[in-house]
Structure 1
Amino acid sequence: MRYVMTIVALCLGVFLSPRTMAQEPVLEESVTTVSLPRGTELSLVVSKKPGSSPSTAALLFPGYPGVLRVEVQNGAPVYQLRGNFLVRARRHLVSDQVMTVMVDCPKDRWSNCDDDYRTSDQYAVDVGAAIDKLKADLGIGKVYLIGTSYGTVSSAFLARKLDGRIDGAVHTSTITDPRAGRNRNAHGLPMWNFDWTATHVDQLFVHHQDDPCPLTQYRSIVARRGNIPLITVLGSKGARGEPCEAFSQHGFVGREQVVMRAIGDWIATRKAAETVGEKGDE
């Protein structure tokens, strides 16, 4: 396996003012490239606090299409899906103890990182190789999976297939009601009857009470979660765009910080807040 690293201190965001930049957490970022036996590569963007040595890695699986197309340009990581909830909010999860790791799809899957691949044994082997790389090169002791929207296909199936190799999984804006029928672009169909309660690792659901996306209905996760804890997110700020996109309540817009901190608390203590955020500032 080949390892490529480049470090850059980044204030995450676009066209930030000096005042805003001073307030945003500064991250130290690196790109790790895992060479897979079938002749392709899987890239990871590792983010941590400068000077820290976290022992826990939170592997992030963003929403549709889930392909980050990670590259290194001028010594810095370059990737797509910057508006996705997990991508834009990861800075609030990073701490002295926790690093985040954005997981791209392997390069041979950049054009089609679909349900068949995400539910396959091959996917588990590929992500398992990434976990081995993180443990060997960065001294990681604990690993958590965090998926959002379409990324919950990854977090759901990998949590089952990587049992014994990970410490927990977090599913946010979970796909519960995928559309089939005439829609040729339907995705997430394996989640129609997925049983999270049959998975043995610790799990957490995070879902907005007013999620407008018909694929990720709050009432469905309430009905199907069993005894798995659920953090209900209330309110939003600046909601806009289509119901299933990243800047509606589906993407926890205006609640990024409280959501990520609640996830961090669960990772550290296994205590899940009943609700985070509040109504009234939409």
Structure 2
Amino acid sequence: MSWHRRLTLALALTIPVFHTVYAADSVETIELASGGTQKYAVFRNDDGKPVTRLMALFTGGDGEAHVGLLDGSPVFVGRGFMVDGRRLFLREGTAVAVIDSPSSMPKMAAKYRQEETYLAGTEKALDAFRAQFPTARLYLIGHSNGSISAMALASRMKERVAGVVSLGGVIRRSEDFGDIKLAQPILFMHHRKDACASPTYSAAFIDLYHPIFVEDIGAYFPSRCGPYSAHHFHGQEGAVVDTIYRWLNGATLTESIR
């Protein structure tokens, strides 16, 4: 591998870190019945505490996490909140998996995320993740188009999924759910200045789901949908994850984060 390719991959590991000690991170590969493979990267704290909560993260856009290994550590070609901010989700008793797109469909259209081929393969990956920590509860967290993956899989997996989080998601009206039927609790969060996926929810949707809005007016990367934009909650990533954990722990949430 050339030195500049190695440097590029190494830079992909430059992310915010709140913890200092980790167990060996791993990249797992699942063989799919439909052909090809699907990868997911696993991260957990090396604090000696039992894992009681699993967070599966789904990237937005075309789902391009594209995880690989460099010197034994996971690296990613894709960027954004679910990749760059993955360690923000690591708290005591938690393991995190970043779910990649299948090798047969490295760039996924939003519609593909609800097709049987994708759902069956990703369900297999999630069950493999759960098998590593059999007593832990699984939560699915999707950003942007990734919210479609999280909701469709939760609908399919039923009691194997304990809850769902949609971050800057594309479903903002009850009729957007289509055939998705959720029995699990769900948290919707959106940035008021999101220029990629409008934060406009129907009144009925707000009454039913009480979405949480990020209100800050910071400076953002010029891209409407790319990393470091309001769509990725740039500058408020930690506050967003804190709110998710407060929700999981049963706290009463305010309507906005400032």
Q: In which range does the TM-score fall when normalised by the shorter chain?
A: 0.7 to 0.9
Question: Does the residue aligned with 1:102 lie in a helix, a strand or coil?
Answer: strand
Please report how far the alpha carbon of residue 236 of structure 1 lies from its aligned counterpart in structure 2 after TM superposition. Answer: 4.6
RMSD of aligned residue pairs (Cα, Å) = 2.8
* Residues 30, 45 of structure 1: 8 Å contact kept: yes
Residue identity in the other structure for 1:36: L
Question: Does the residue aligned with 1:219 lie in a helix, a strand or coil?
Answer: coil
Please report how far the alpha carbon of residue 176 of structure 1 lies from its aligned counterpart in structure 2 after TM superposition. Answer: 4.3
Question: Does the residue aligned with 2:96 lie in a helix, a strand or coil?
Answer: strand
Please report how far the alpha carbon of residue 61 of structure 1 lies from its aligned counterpart in structure 2 after TM superposition. Answer: 0.6
Please report how far the alpha carbon of residue 202 of structure 1 lies from its aligned counterpart in structure 2 after TM superposition. Answer: 1.0
Residue of structure 2 aligned with 1:204, choices 169, 176, 187: 187
Residue identity in the other structure for 2:33: P
Please report how far the alpha carbon of residue 143 of structure 1 lies from its aligned counterpart in structure 2 after TM superposition. Answer: 0.8
* Residues 123, 153 of structure 2: 8 Å contact kept: no
Match of 1:142 in 2: 137
Q: Would you say 1:127 and 2:122 are equivalent positions?
A: yes
Question: Does the residue aligned with 1:125 lie in a helix, a strand or coil?
Answer: helix
Q: Distance in 1 between matches of 2:52 and 2:138?
A: 9
Q: Distance in 1 between matches of 2:202 and 2:58?
A: 19
Residue of structure 1 aligned with 2:31, choices 26, 29, 35: 35
Please report how far the alpha carbon of residue 119 of structure 1 lies from its aligned counterpart in structure 2 after TM superposition. Answer: 0.6
Q: Distance in 2 between matches of 1:80 and 1:202?
A: 32
TM-score normalised to structure 2 length: 0.83
Q: What count of residue pairs does the alignment treat as equivalent?
A: 245
Question: Does the residue aligned with 2:200 lie in a helix, a strand or coil?
Answer: helix
Please report how far the alpha carbon of residue 195 of structure 1 lies from its aligned counterpart in structure 2 after TM superposition. Answer: 5.3
* Residues 86, 98 of structure 2: 8 Å contact kept: no
Q: Distance in 2 between matches of 1:237 and 1:46?
A: 32
* Residues 57, 140 of structure 1: 8 Å contact kept: no
Please identify, of 257-266 and 86-95, the stretch whose mean Cα deviation from structure 2 is larger. Answer: 86-95
Please report how far the alpha carbon of residue 253 of structure 1 lies from its aligned counterpart in structure 2 after TM superposition. Answer: 0.7
Match of 2:163 in 1: 168
Instruction: Sort the Cα spacing of 1:158 and 1:195 in 2 relative to 1 into closer, same or farther, 3 A.
Output: same
Match of 2:44 in 1: 48
Output aligned runs, 1:211-226, within 5 Å.
211-213=194-196, 216-220=197-201, 224-226=205-207
Q: Distance in 2 between matches of 1:255 and 1:155?
A: 22
Match of 1:93 in 2: 89
* Residues 13, 75 of structure 2: 8 Å contact kept: no
Q: Distance in 2 between matches of 1:139 and 1:95?
A: 18
* Residues 11, 24 of structure 1: 8 Å contact kept: no
Match of 1:274 in 2: 255
Structure 1 gaps of 5+ residues are 1-9, 178-190
Q: Distance in 1 between matches of 2:32 and 2:11?
A: 31
Residue identity in the other structure for 1:101: A
Q: Distance in 2 between matches of 1:274 and 1:197?
A: 25
Structure 2 gaps of 5+ residues are 1-9
Q: Distance in 1 between matches of 2:240 and 2:217?
A: 11
Please identify, of 227-236 and 57-66, the stretch whose mean Cα deviation from structure 2 is larger. Answer: 227-236
Residue identity in the other structure for 2:90: V
Q: Distance in 2 between matches of 1:221 and 1:11?
A: 41
Residue identity in the other structure for 2:188: F
Question: Does the residue aligned with 1:146 lie in a helix, a strand or coil?
Answer: strand
Percent of aligned positions that are identical: 24
TM-score normalised to structure 1 length: 0.77
